Amino acid sequence: MTNLQRAAEALRAFKKVVFFTGAGISAESGIPTFRDKLTGLWTKHEPQRLETANAFRENPALVWSWYLWRRHHVGQAKPNPAHYSVSQLAVAGWDVSVVTQNIDDLHERAGSSPVIHLHGSLMDVKCFACHRPGTLASAQLETPEEEQLIEPPRCARCGGKLRPGVVWFGENLPENSWRSAVRRVKSCELLVSVGTSGVVMPAAAIPDMALAAGATVIHVNIEDVGFGGTDEIMLLGSAGMVLPALLKAAGVAV
């Protein structure tokens, strides 16, 4: 029996499924990862150096403009067949939840719900000073012209500078999101880990958490990230190819 057949058998057997997704699923929609070369103004900067609270303190306009550029890039991207496979499985009758490390909204635009964002969302903003959620007018979301930097808007409550609603390096995951993710992972029958690097903690512990709770884990990745356990199945290939093939092999009617 091939790994695809084993995975299809597991999908037919288990109806409570959590998809745990990382950068690999969104890369197929053209959203760059840290490994991709940046363009324009951003060729001069390393993303890791822009995604910290200290960077925002030192140059809020630079960091804010970087995130406006990223938000614009995400807005132009479209969900790919992997995103749609997740939502199609739910339509076909499976109990599907999504836990993602990604800060884009491609799962939501593909029709998935609920989607738990462990690292926050580019679509959200909050105050750097009082931490309350904020809102932005459409004019405040316009992408800067080349070499132009835009100062972040101010919080309507305290006057502090608004920052992206994402988790920066050195910050803790949102407590409510992490608790919700842990609860769903520990109660699922099948975890499908898609395009995750397995190195960013504590999210990288999620597959092990599912295995410890008795679930079967399917890994979908372009490289082998499995540990060879009896309850693990490794499917090598791009998410946009593998997930539709998995649904087809399982006989999922969409």
Residues identified as active-site = 119
Residue 5's Cβ-side half-sphere holds a number of Cα atoms within 13 Å equal to 2
In angstroms, the CA 97 to CA 94 distance is 10
Question: Which regions of the chain does DSSP assign to beta strands (E)?
Answer: 16-21, 95-100, 115-117, 120-127, 133-134, 162-166, 190-194, 216-221, 232-236
Of 238, 119, 224, residue with least CA distance to 171:
119
Please give the Cα distance from 195 to 101 (Å, whole number).
10
Asked whether 106 and 26 are in contact (CB, 8 A), the reply is yes
Cα dihedral sign, 56-60-65-68: positive
Q: In this structure, how many other beta carbons lie within 10 angstroms of the beta carbon of residue 182? A: 17
**Residue count of the chain:** 254
Strand order in the sheet with 162-166: 133-134, 120-127, 162-166
